[in-house]
A and B are shown apart, each in its own frame.
Chain A
Amino acid sequence: MARVVILGAGIAGHTAAMVLRRTLPKEHVVCVVSPKPYYNWIPSNIWVGVGRMAREKVVVPLAPIYARLGIEFIQASATEIHPAGNPNHPGPYIVATPTTPGAATESVEVAYDWLINATGPKLRFDRTPGLGPDGGHTHSVCTDRHAVDAATALDAAIQRMKAGERQTLVVGMGHGTCTCEGAAFEYTFNVEHELRRHGVRDLADLVYLTNEAELGDFGVDGLVIRNGGFHTPSSVFAGSFFAERSVQAILGAHVQAIEPGLIRYETLDGVDHEQRYDFAMLLPPFTGVGLKAFGAQGEDITDTLFAPSGFTKVDADYTPKPYEAWKPTDWPSTYRNPTWKNVFAVGIAFAPPHPISRPRTSPRGTVISPAPPRTGMPSASMARAVAENIADMILGRATEPERLSSMANMGAACVASAGSGFWAGNAVAMTMFPIVPDYTRWPGAGRDERFTFGEVGTAGHWIKLVLHHLFLYKARAKPFWWMVPE
């Protein structure tokens, strides 16, 4: 009998757990340790954050699904990994703090034979003074609850506009090293749509503030999109949408501090600026969730498992090198820790070898460039590949991970809705293949132009709706869920 423990029940962890349970015979245990009792389909938080979707529509309680599938569920927050065990606990185990309200909070030890870390990001609002909804002055849509609060604050701003007051709304990135620019882009245009829907667009100054040096960078160094008979840089494609919707953009910005009504930021040229706001939704930078690792004698071995960023070290090439020397093969393909061969990390939890966007710093040395995104589709794809590899090794079908799932060989779709309503909704649909550009295979653009395209229209909105329903169907493990592709 083997015990596979999965830390986290987000897009990556939930996918891995379901695939493992479906693949492994019942005598093997699949156990999920996660602090929240529910799964959140984060991409639809955008709609919650503008008040167009109820929170209940984007969350799914986990306990009934796991009970039905035969997955053990421990509602707890992992804090430590002991990959070599210790004299009192011979095999590898993790330590977790239960988070069920009212239950004992004494730490529990959970033994494992195989471990998948899918704990996603720690939202580092603390990196920018005044950032974030908990004690700061700005809003977020990173969690379902943040999105509900953002919607309330946005509605208050809309009511002030209805009373004739001009408002400045700022959406974007709350630090120079943020990732997830696609989410901020999408939220910007959903807000813009809401302003028009409420008839107050003329009273709003909508500003997109980002660490991207150019519009359309999206943390992947931009794309060259096939669109309308042209190879169009995403800076032009995205810029066109900003111009069309009269959204101002502040580029190459590192937010230094946020005060009530005022954002202080530095731009890539090293100059300090201020931006006034009445409503702001600024995403935080991400790090790993801060798990610690200990050896058999209790010694701290965190650095064998985790990079300084807190993300898990896997089979990537972490040798520091300049942008010109970056290669697609630097990116991991098995997501296995090189020291502890039964430990894997998927989704946002794995440590990328380097950014994808060109690194940039201001003359004052401030890093202002996007961290690499690990969006939903690749997170789920790598989770499935890792789950199937582990199942093969448990069942003796393989001795090594056989499926290779690198972001340099994987595409991503970004469908940014820009309005709601079945018939009148609009979305910017963009796809790229691969995520990590390969200038040897595709000289010039670095990506396959057949699958790197973008367009705006109601069709994209329908795709976004289909994705919402399909992925929540899959998350609920309804019949034939496994046929839904990642």
Chain B
Amino acid sequence: MTTKDTPMTTQTYVAKITVPTPTATTLWMRGFLPWQLWRFVWLNLKMLRMISLSHPTRRDPSAPKAP
């Protein structure tokens, strides 16, 4: 049983709700196209930046050679 279908007595409320669940607004925003279009651009830019950080680094010429 999860938070959603737990009967709302005080006792089960305390015992079961351990994680946040989205509000109606949050759920709506997840599908609201103008907002999602913006998030698409934002996520892509962030991922591209992360990929550029992940590019191989060059060996430090002063570092000892690999074994």
A334 & B54 in contact (Cβ 8 Å cutoff): no
Chain B residues with CB under 8 Å of A377's CB are: 51, 54
B9 part of interface (Cβ distance < 8 Å):
no
B2 & A246 in contact (Cβ 8 Å cutoff): yes
A458 & B33 in contact (Cβ 8 Å cutoff): yes
Interface size class for chain A? 35 or more
Chain A residues with CB under 8 Å of B39's CB are: 455, 457, 459
A409 & B21 in contact (Cβ 8 Å cutoff): no
Chain A residues with CB under 8 Å of B55's CB are: 381
Specify the chain B residue showing the minimal Cβ separation from A246.
B2
B58 & A403 in contact (Cβ 8 Å cutoff): yes
Of listed A404, A455, A457, residue having the most chain B CB within 10 A: A457
B67 & A315 in contact (Cβ 8 Å cutoff): yes
Specify the chain B residue showing the minimal Cβ separation from A341.
B66
B62 part of interface (Cβ distance < 8 Å):
no
Given A243-B2, A246-B5, answer yes or no on A404-B19 (Cβ-Cβ < 8 Å): no
Q: For chain B, what secondary structure do more than half of its interface residues adopt (helix, strand, loop), or is it mixed?
A: helix
Q: For chain A, what secondary structure do more than half of its interface residues adopt (helix, strand, loop), or is it mixed?
A: mixed
B66 & A459 in contact (Cβ 8 Å cutoff): no
**In the complex, what distance in Å separates the CA atom of A451 from the CA atom of B56?**
17
Specify the chain B residue showing the minimal Cβ separation from A338.
B67
**In the complex, what distance in Å separates the CA atom of A386 from the CA atom of B54?**
14
B44 part of interface (Cβ distance < 8 Å):
yes
B46 & A451 in contact (Cβ 8 Å cutoff): yes
**In the complex, what distance in Å separates the CA atom of A239 from the CA atom of B17?**
11
**In the complex, what distance in Å separates the CA atom of A337 from the CA atom of B37?**
46
B40 part of interface (Cβ distance < 8 Å):
yes
B18 part of interface (Cβ distance < 8 Å):
yes
A39 part of interface (Cβ distance < 8 Å):
no
B59 & A400 in contact (Cβ 8 Å cutoff): yes
A411 & B50 in contact (Cβ 8 Å cutoff): yes
A424 part of interface (Cβ distance < 8 Å):
yes
B53 & A433 in contact (Cβ 8 Å cutoff): yes
**In the complex, what distance in Å separates the CA atom of A190 from the CA atom of B19?**
22
A401 & B66 in contact (Cβ 8 Å cutoff): yes
B8 part of interface (Cβ distance < 8 Å):
no
A462 part of interface (Cβ distance < 8 Å):
yes
A188 part of interface (Cβ distance < 8 Å):
no
B21 & A244 in contact (Cβ 8 Å cutoff): yes
A433 & B50 in contact (Cβ 8 Å cutoff): yes
B12 part of interface (Cβ distance < 8 Å):
no
Nearest CB on B from A255, distance (A): 23
Nearest CB on A from B15, distance (A): 13
Chain A residues with CB under 8 Å of B2's CB are: 242-243, 246-248
Chain A residues with CB under 8 Å of B48's CB are: 485
A456 part of interface (Cβ distance < 8 Å):
yes
**In the complex, what distance in Å separates the CA atom of A410 from the CA atom of B42?**
20
The contact of B29 among A236, A434, A457, by CB within 8 Å, is A457
B49 & A463 in contact (Cβ 8 Å cutoff): no
The contact of A240 among B21, B42, B43, by CB within 8 Å, is B21
Given A334-B66, A404-B56, A404-B59, answer yes or no on A246-B4 (Cβ-Cβ < 8 Å): yes
**In the complex, what distance in Å separates the CA atom of A338 from the CA atom of B29?**
52
Of listed A385, A401, A459, residue having the most chain B CB within 10 A: A459
Specify the chain A residue showing the minimal Cβ separation from B63.
A404
**In the complex, what distance in Å separates the CA atom of A143 from the CA atom of B34?**
37
Chain A residues with CB under 8 Å of B51's CB are: 377, 411, 485-486
Chain B residues with CB under 8 Å of A402's CB are: 58-59
**In the complex, what distance in Å separates the CA atom of A410 from the CA atom of B50?**
8
Given A431-B50, A451-B49, answer yes or no on A239-B56 (Cβ-Cβ < 8 Å): no
Nearest CB on B from A425, distance (A): 9
The contact of A409 among B37, B40, B54, B67, by CB within 8 Å, is B54
7 further A-B contacts with Cβ under 8 Å, apart from A336-B66, A411-B53, A459-B39, are A381-B55, A401-B59, A403-B56, A410-B54, A413-B50, A459-B40, A462-B40
- List the 3 shortest-distance A-B pairs measured between CB atoms, nearest first: A403-B56, A459-B39, A239-B19
**17 A-B interface contacts by CB (under 8 A):** A236-B20, A242-B19, A243-B3, A243-B19, A244-B21, A247-B2, A315-B66, A334-B66, A388-B56, A401-B59, A404-B56, A410-B54, A413-B47, A433-B54, A457-B35, A460-B43, A463-B44
